[in-house]
Structure 1
Amino acid sequence: MWEYGGYWIGSANNTSKLYAYWYDKRTGATRRRTLGTEILSEAQEKLIELVGESRLDGSKSPSSVMIRVALDHYYENDAKNKPSADQAFRAIVLVNEYLSEKIVPMAAVSAFGPLRQKEFMLWCASKHSHTAGTIARNLAVVSAAFRFGRRLSVVRDGFGNEHEIQLLESAPDIVTQPKRVAELTSLAPSAPRDWLPSFQQLGQFIDAIDRRQENLFRFVILALNTWARPEAVLDFRPSVQVNREFGTLNLNPPGRRQTKKYRPTIRLTDNLTGWLDEWGEGAPMIWDGKPVTTMKRTFKRLAVDCGMDRFTQDTLRHFMATYVRRSKNPPVSQEQRDMWLGHDESRTANWYEHNDPDYLSEAMQATDNIIRDLQAYCSRSLFSCKGRAKAPLRAIKGGRDVA
């Protein structure tokens, strides 16, 4: 009746219900599964959803593969397991909305050439008031999906069958640069993310953390001490990532494969040592008996309440990197800053080097000093009970009383 990717739709037992059929090579039998509808168009949609990207016998030509199939293939087999899964999902929903309104839901990959991409940009700007940067990020998901489609991948379809799939032999190049999007749409170029809080603003944010938001406070402490990206902060487990003997902290948990966002081995600061002694060896952030996996909404909500809409989790990393660069006591070389940030993989990957007593010593000292300086703008202590005995007494700046 209707075939897709090695499966076909038909009826059975004189019923009006429609079934998906396929040939099982292992048993030599024809198998079937109900599609739960009597309407052919609905059955076709369901079959496409179940089979997804596995067009086993179909053409790899971009004129034969649907855009929605390429996007689903990418999300189900790659994007959904990444920290950027939410962004990818939103972009895919947006592209499918555009296809339904402006082309057809089953448009082929080849249809998304330069003219359609420009139309998509203008549609996003007009209907959703998206900036050039937002449009470029969404197009980057399409670009990633098309690149992933050109790889040979092992996927499991909705019927539980595994297949080796190379979905596409080629695909159109996608515009992913905000500057180019701005040129094509006459939108204003996206402003660079150069905002940093002052010490006083960061102190205000920390003091606004409610005592019941202990996980958020711990997140901030960890981020300041490690300069790490949010995902690395949330993944941190002291029992397997801290080496007390050598005073180091490996931001990459055991068993995790390194990616282009390299997670280095850094020094364990005095400030964080005190907090880890107080928190124990388990996951520092726990909710309902389980490790916390996201802090994005909680962080953003407090930032907005403090009148700092542009303050994000990543801002803490930029804050530390910026002020360590300005550090005079001690001065920190660019080499050490790059190693701490994970930008110099060849050096941070050297086991013998990061166990040297002088390894990243200036960056470690500067980190502790910046946190001490920040304490002058906070009523809440940035030091553990053990660390408070070592911390210098300072008058609180900005009109607050001494705590």
Structure 2
Amino acid sequence: MAARTDRVRAPGTIENSLIQLAAAFRMGGVTPAFGTIPVTELVRTPQYRADIETLAAMFRYAMTPKKKRDNLLRFLRAAVATWARPDAVHDIDTRRERRQWHPTSHVLALNPDGRRQTRKYRATVPVPRQFVPHLQAAKGPYIPVSSVKSAWEAMEIDLKLPRSGESGMKLIRRSVSHIARKRLGEEHWVQGKMMLGHHKASTSDFYALPDPANLGRALAVTEAIIDDIEKAAPGAFRLVVLRAVA
């Protein structure tokens, strides 16, 4: 039998467990004899944000010849294009029954049909023109594996990204929104909040989402960010289609 290894749990993880335990007690009609602390008071928000050059370095790493990093590259593309959380990026699926990808309006619903929205709301967002061909070419799950975490962690080490929770897989979401906020300006940042799912879009019309009055300004800024990444890492968003030879 392997020796037991004690694992140190983060304060936020411990408090989350207590919150769930307290909820279970209340569901059983029992008032818990202990109090809980809001997790936001215990969790330290990561401060590190990647700039365009660092984002481009990630793409260059994922495009390294003779290395099988295709799924990491897919993750990077989707994360930059949508500003989505890692779990939502992994859930992107173009099958019609999922009702996520709407090719006519170029809109992507990050929440699959039938999945209940949670506190971490998944937005419906317009898709940057550079990412549209990738979704058009996909035949089901955009990322065909359950997780690219191991590939991400190998990249963190290779690129010497900050560790200790500063550069986890949500780094793309934090970094792209940080860059976009400066370019959008505070008067239009509500569109950034909509992209992040922190503010629900005011329209349910998919064709209206790309309009500048809704999410069109955030879309334009995202496309500009992608153009900057492509300049620094040529091929970052280039779609390569392998054709069968007769």
TM over 0.5: yes
1:284 is aligned to 2:136: no
Separation in 2, partners of 1:147, 1:171: 12
For structure 2, which runs of at least 5 residues remain unmatched after alignment?
Answer: 242-246
1:146 aligns with 2:5: no
Displacement after TM superposition at 1:375 (Å): 1.8
Query: Which amino acid in structure 1 is aligned with residue 31 of structure 2?
Result: E
CA contact (8 A) 2:131 2:237 kept: no
Matched, 1:351 2:204: yes
**Partner of residue 189 from structure 2, selected from 316, 331, 334:** 334
Give the equivalent residue in structure 2 for 1:322: 178
Normalized per residue, the structure richer in strand is: 1
Residue identity matched to 1:248: V
Equivalence map 1:69-84=2 (5 Å): none
Task: For residue 256 of structure 1, report the CA deviation from its aligned partner.
Answer: 0.4
Partner of 2:124: 265
Separation (CA, whole Å) in 2 of partners of 1:344 and 1:255: 21
Q: Distance in 2 between matches of 1:174 and 1:218?
A: 40
Q: Give the match's secondary structure for 2:198.
A: coil
In the alignment, the residues of structure 1 paired with residue 138 and residue 190 of structure 2 have an alpha-carbon distance, to the nearest angstrom, of 32
CA distance in 1 between partners of 2:31 and 2:123 (Å): 37
Listed one character per residue, the Cα deviations across residues 149-196 of structure 1 (whole Å, up to 9, x for unaligned) are 311xxxxxxxxxxxxxx17332300345576x7xxxxxxxx7541101
Q: Please state if 1:174 is matched with 2:31.
A: no
Give the unaligned 5+ runs of structure 1: 1-92, 98-123, 152-165, 182-189, 287-291, 387-403
Give the paired residue count.
226
Please report the RMSD computed on the Cα atoms of aligned residues, expressed in angstroms: 2.8
Instruction: Write out the 4+ residue segments of structure 1 that deviate beyond 3 Å after TM superposition.
Output: 175-179
> 2:229–2:236: 8 Å Cα contact kept in structure 1?
no
CA distance in 2, matches of 1:337, 1:319: 12
Q: Which has the higher contact order (CA 8 A, sep 6+)?
A: 2
C-alpha separation in 2, matches of 1:376 and 1:257 = 39
Partner residue in 2 for 1:362: 217
How much has 1:374 moved relative to structure 2? 1.4
- Fraction of identical pairs, as percent: 22
Residue 244 of structure 2 corresponds to which residue in structure 1?
none
Distance 1:370 1:143 in 2: 39
Between structure 1 and structure 2, the one with the greater Rg is 1
CA contact (8 A) 2:82 2:125 kept: yes
Are 2:101 and 2:135, in contact at CA under 8 Å, matched by a contact in 1?
no
